[in-house]
Structure formats: structure tokens, C-alpha cells
């Protein structure tokens, strides 16, 4: 089933369905009620004509009951082109009187009992018929049964129904469109706090405000308070982490400096000095790596996007100076307005390590390109060096960390891998157009 993802679309669709069902059922009910009312009015009208005809009855010279044409109450019965017809049947079903417009005599109708009425809708011709049974007692005290029938063409009745139906459904359609418009405006007004909340969250992401600041209805207040608490807790936690890591780095610096000083003592033998120096350097390297790894902010909720071009130019300039003797040329293919949703410190670590590896192990040509599609950022660094071994991707997939040693690449690639994992991203090691290494990072927003 297709399920609308928009809350506004869902509400509007549900309201439209309910509104359509209501108007359809209302229209059908009103149409049926009007039809019954019109049919009852038709029945009452024919009944009154029957009464007027009975009032105009009188015996003819043959002793049969008849109706005087001059006393007929409705002048339509005296016209040959009239839609109203009348007939008087005797008890044998033989007409003893009929109106001027009465054409071919149909078969005798169902004779109602004395003082009984019978109303029906004839199919052929399309007309309404009202019959009434009566008993006539002449001077010789000879009771006779008669039936008075009035027939009126149903075309005017149907025209009336059609006109009512057109007017009814036209006005119902107009009312439904009007109510639908009112419903849209109501939804716009009812959902405006949610739209305002979305705008505030986007401003927080862009770094234009620190938290949600507007007042919201009671139903949204727990949500906004929870979001503010989450944002504040995340920032406090990140600050505590960095402060703790700074304290750890400061605490380790002095003991390592002491050990480094002991290494230079003259009474230590050269083999021991060499071993100690290697261990101290290894400790410094591992400590620095682990501190960088732990300091990675990772993917943050409502993180402010970073303008990437100035950061890339700064890193490219620094790497070019470090490897000035190798005449490294770094091409930057980054739009000036491109922003990446990540911590600036993490981006320095990612791009800096990739550029450093490319400059160190390439042959002088490096290219950095950054593209953003939707909320996903793609960072690509290429060089013209020997490239990666064939199993480089498998090593990353197996999750090699600080101890990974990919031939031809530096240990900084491990830090890059850990940062990418912290952002729930992906890293791909391939071959560049120049034949060297190509590292592609995919960071979701």
C-alpha cells in the first residue's frame, strides 16, 4: 500500500475521504427523501382530482354512473393534448366514461375494493395512476361497483427530480470544495507549530541559534524540552570528553618526558638505550593515536555544517610546505559554498591524514574533491603513487585498527577508518586515473 510520508498529506487525505463519504451519503439521503416527498405530493394531487371527479358524477339516461364533462374540475381533462387523463370503469372493467385525451383503452386495472385507494407507477406508458373503488346505489336500490382512475404523465415529475438532482449535487460539490479549502487552511494553521519547529531545528543545524527558543503548544512542549535537553547533554558530554582527554594528554606528557630523559643517561648501555628509545617512541605514537581516536566527535545530532573550501586550502598549504622538497602539487576541486555536516576537528583529521599519505607516498600529484548530494558528503583524495595492494579493501572490512600496516600507505589511514566508522560512513580504497591510490569517503548527514 502507498502510505504518504507527509503528516499533512495524511491528514488532508483522511479528511477528504471523510468529507467525500459524508457528502455522498448526504446527497443520496436528500435525493431519496426528495423523491419520496415528490412521489407523495403526486399521490396527494391525483387523490384530490379523484375526489373532484367523484363530486362530478351523475347517472346517465341508461342508469349508468357517468361524469359530466362540463363539471370536470380540471380543464386539462377536456383537452385532447393533455398529460392528464381519467376514466370511469364499471364493475366488469368496461369504461363507461373517459376524458378527451384518453387514448387506447388499456386492460382493466386491478380493481380496488370499495373505499380503497390504489396508487402505482405505470411503466408503459411512463405515468402515475390513482384508482378508487366506490359503490353506487340507484333509485331501484341496485348497488353497482365503479372504479375511478386518474393517470398523469410522469415526465414533469422526472424533470423535477432531474432539476433537483442537478442543483443538489452542484451545491454539494461547491460546499465540499469550500469545506476542503477550509480544511486545508485549518491544517495549515494546526501544523504551523511543527513547521516552525522544523525551521528552528534547521537554524540549529546551521549554527544560527543554540537551542529551540520559541513557545509551542502543550502537545509539543515535552518534545521541544526533550530536544533541548538532548542537545545540551550532547554538548556537555563532548566537552567533558575533550577536557578529560586533554587532562590525560597532559598527565602522560610528564612521565614520558622523564622516561625520555632517562634514556639519555650516560650509565645506560647503548642496546638498552636503543630499546628504551624505541619503546618510548612507540608509547608516544600509540598514545597520540588513541587520543586522536577518542577525541573524534563522530556523528552528532543537529551538527553545524562546515564550509569545506577554506579548511581544504589550509590543509593543502600545510602539506605542501611539509613536502616542499618533493614539489607536491595539490589540486582542490571543491565548490566555495560546499558544506559538510561534521566536526571541523574531525574533518581536519580526515582530510589531513589523507593528504599527508597521498603526498608522502605519491609522486607529486594529489587531487582533493568534495561533493555533497542531499545530506551525504563524498570526499575523494587521489595520488599518482604506486597505489594500494589488491587486498586493501578486505583489510578495512575486517576492521584493522591502529596496528594495520597497508603497504605503501601510512598509519594515519587507520585513524581515517575509525573516524569514518564513528560517522556511520563508508571508506573505499581504489585506483585513481593516474594509476595511484584513491580513497573515497562517504559520510551520511
DSSP characters over 223-244: HHHHHHHHHHHHHHHHHHHHHH
Of 196-200, 218-222, 276-280, where does mean pLDDT reach its minimum? 276-280
Task: Provide the pLDDT for residue 410.
Answer: 45
**CA quadruple 9, 10, 13, 16: dihedral positive or negative?**
negative
Residue at 171 is within a domain: no
Final residue belonging to a domain, choices 295, 318, 336: 295
Give a yes or no: residue 345 inside a domain. Answer: yes
Residue whose entry in the numeric block shows the C-alpha cell 600507505: 409
Segment (H or E) for 370: strand 365-373
Query: In this structure, are 289 and 348 located in the same domain?
Result: no
Q: Does 286 lie in the same domain as 310?
A: no
List residues bridging with 152 in a β-sheet: 84, 128
pLDDT for residue 401 is more than 50: no
Q: What pLDDT does residue 378 have?
A: 93
Residues 398 and 336 in one domain: yes
Give the pLDDT confidence score for residue 382 in this predicted structure.
93
Q: How confident is the model at residue 392 (pLDDT cuts 50, 70, 90)?
A: low
pLDDT (average), residues 174-202: 88
**Mean of pLDDT values over 357-377:** 89
Q: Are residues 290 and 314 in the same domain?
A: no
C-alpha–C-alpha distance, residues 377 and 96, integer Å: 100
Q: CA 88, CA 99: separation in Å to the nearest integer?
A: 9
Contacts of 101 (CB under 8 A, 6+ apart): 76, 77, 79, 80, 81, 82, 83, 84, 85
- Residue 149, helix vs strand vs coil: strand
Residue 173 belongs to a domain? no
Asked whether residue 283 falls in the same domain as residue 361, the answer is no
Q: What percent of the chain has pLDDT over 70?
A: 81
**Is 205 within a domain?**
no
How far apart are the C-alpha atoms of 413 and 289, rounded to whole Å?
Answer: 11
Question: What pLDDT does residue 406 have?
Answer: 40
* Short-list 114, 95, 116, CA closest to 105: 95
Distances (CA, A) of 316 to 151, 284, 289, 359: 102, 26, 22, 10
Indicate the residue among 275, 295, 315 that finishes a domain: 295
The values of phi and psi at residue 426, to 5°, are -135, 150
318 in the same domain as 425: yes
If asked whether residues 51 and 151 sit together in one domain, one would say: yes
Are 277 and 311 in a shared domain? no
Taking residues 76-84, report their average pLDDT: 79
Cα gap 20→23, rounded to integer Å: 5
- Banded model confidence at residue 370, pLDDT cuts 50, 70, 90: very high
Range(s) of the domain holding residue 101: 7-160
Strands (E) across 141-196 are located at 143-153
What are the two backbone dihedrals, phi and then psi, of residue 384, each rounded to the nearest 5 degrees?
A: -110, 30
> Is 180 domain-assigned?
no
CATH of residue 438's domain is 3.30.565.10
Q: Is the pLDDT of residue 31 over 80?
A: yes
Q: Please say which residue of 117, 137, 160 terminates a domain.
A: 160
Contact 90, 96 (CB under 8 A): yes
Q: Which residues contact 27 (CB under 8 A, 6 or more apart)?
A: 168, 169, 172
Confirm whether 199 is domain-assigned.
Answer: no
Q: For residue 417, is pLDDT > 80?
A: yes
User: Has residue 30 been placed in a domain?
Assistant: yes
pLDDT band, residue 404 (cuts 50/70/90): very low
Within a domain: 2 = no
Decide if pLDDT at 202 tops 50: yes
Do 16 and 152 lie in one domain? The reply is yes
Per-residue confidence (pLDDT) for residue 408, from 0 to 100: 40
| Pair 281, 399 in one domain | no
Cell of 256: 614520558
Does the pLDDT of residue 123 top 70, yes or no? yes
Crossing angle of helices 344-361 and 412-422, rounded to 10°: 150
The values of phi and psi at residue 14, to 5°, are -65, -45
Tally of structural domains, the chain: 3
Percent of the chain with pLDDT strictly greater than 90: 18
Looking at the structure, tell me whether residues 141 and 85 fall in a common domain.
yes
Do 20 and 119 reside in the same domain of the chain? yes
Is residue 321 pLDDT above 80, yes or no? yes
Using CB atoms within 10 Å of the CB of residue 152, give its burial: 0 to 12 exposed, 13 to 18 middle, 19+ buried. Answer: buried
Amino acid at each position: 500500500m502507498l502510505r504518504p510520508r507527509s503528516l499533512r498529506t495524511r491528514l488532508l487525505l483522511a479528511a477528504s475521504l471523510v468529507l467525500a463519504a459524508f457528502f455522498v451519503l448526504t446527497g443520496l439521503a436528500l435525493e431519496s427523501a426528495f423523491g419520496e416527498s415528490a412521489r407523495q405530493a403526486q399521490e396527494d394531487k391525483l387523490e384530490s382530482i379523484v375526489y373532484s371527479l367523484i363530486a362530478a358524477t351523475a347517472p346517465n339516461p341508461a342508469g349508468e354512473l357517468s361524469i359530466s364533462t362540463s363539471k370536470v374540475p380540471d380543464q386539462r381533462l377536456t383537452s385532447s393534448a393533455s398529460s392528464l387523463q381519467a376514466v370511469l370503469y364499471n364493475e366488469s372493467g368496461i369504461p363507461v366514461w373517459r376524458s378527451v385525451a384518453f387514448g387506447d383503452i388499456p386492460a382493466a386495472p386491478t380493481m380496488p375494493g370499495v373505499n380503497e385507494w390504489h396508487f402505482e407507477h405505470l411503466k408503459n406508458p411512463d405515468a402515475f395512476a390513482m384508482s378508487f373503488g366506490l359503490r353506487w346505489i340507484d333509485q331501484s336500490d341496485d348497488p353497482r361497483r365503479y372504479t375511478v382512475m386518474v393517470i398523469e404523465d410522469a415526465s414533469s415529475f422526472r424533470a423535477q427530480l432531474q432539476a433537483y438532482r442537478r442543483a443538489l449535487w452542484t451545491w454539494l460539490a461547491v460546499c465540499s470544495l469550500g469545506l476542503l479549502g477550509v480544511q486545508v487552511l485549518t491544517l495549515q494553521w494546526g501544523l504551523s507549530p511543527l513547521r516552525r519547529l522544523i525551521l528552528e531545528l534547521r537554524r540549529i543545524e546551521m549554527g544560527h541559534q543554540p537551542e529551540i527558543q520559541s513557545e509551542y503548544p502543550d502537545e509539543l512542549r515535552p518534545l521541544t524540552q526533550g530536544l533541548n535537553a538532548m542537545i545540551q547533554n550532547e554538548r556537555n558530554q563532548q566537552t567533558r570528553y575533550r577536557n578529560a582527554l586533554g587532562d590525560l594528554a597532559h598527565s602522560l606528557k610528564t612521565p614520558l618526558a622523564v622516561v625520555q630523559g632517562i634514556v639519555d643517561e650516560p650509565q645506560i648501555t647503548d642496546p638498552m638505550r636503543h630499546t628504551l628509545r624505541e619503546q618510548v617512541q612507540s608509547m608516544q605514537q600509540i598514545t597520540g593515536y588513541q587520543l586522536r581516536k577518542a577525541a573524534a566527535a563522530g556523528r552528532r545530532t543537529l551538527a553545524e555544517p562546515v564550509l569545506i573550501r577554506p579548511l581544504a586550502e589550509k590543509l593543502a598549504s600545510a602539506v605542501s610546505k611539509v613536502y616542499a622538497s618533493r614539489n607536491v602539487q595539490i589540486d582542490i576541486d571543491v565548490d566555495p559554498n560546499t558544506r559538510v555536516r561534521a566536526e571541523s576537528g574531525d574533518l581536519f583529521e580526515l582530510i589531513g591524514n589523507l593528504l599527508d599519505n597521498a603526498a608522502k607516498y605519491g609522486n607529486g600529484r594529489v587531487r582533493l574533491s568534495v561533493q555533497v548530494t542531499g545530506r551525504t558528503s563524498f570526499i575523494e583524495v587521489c595520488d599518482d603513487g604506486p597505489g594500494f595492494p589488491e587486498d586493501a579493501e578486505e583489510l578495512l572490512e575486517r576492521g584493522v585498527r591502529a596496528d594495520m600496516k597497508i603497504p605503501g600507505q601510512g598509519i594515519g589511514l587507520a585513524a581515517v577508518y575509525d573516524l569514518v566508522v564513528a560517522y556511520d560512513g563508508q571508506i573505499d580504497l581504489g585506483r585513481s586515473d593516474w594509476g595511484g591510490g584513491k580513497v573515497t569517503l562517504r559520510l551520511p548527514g
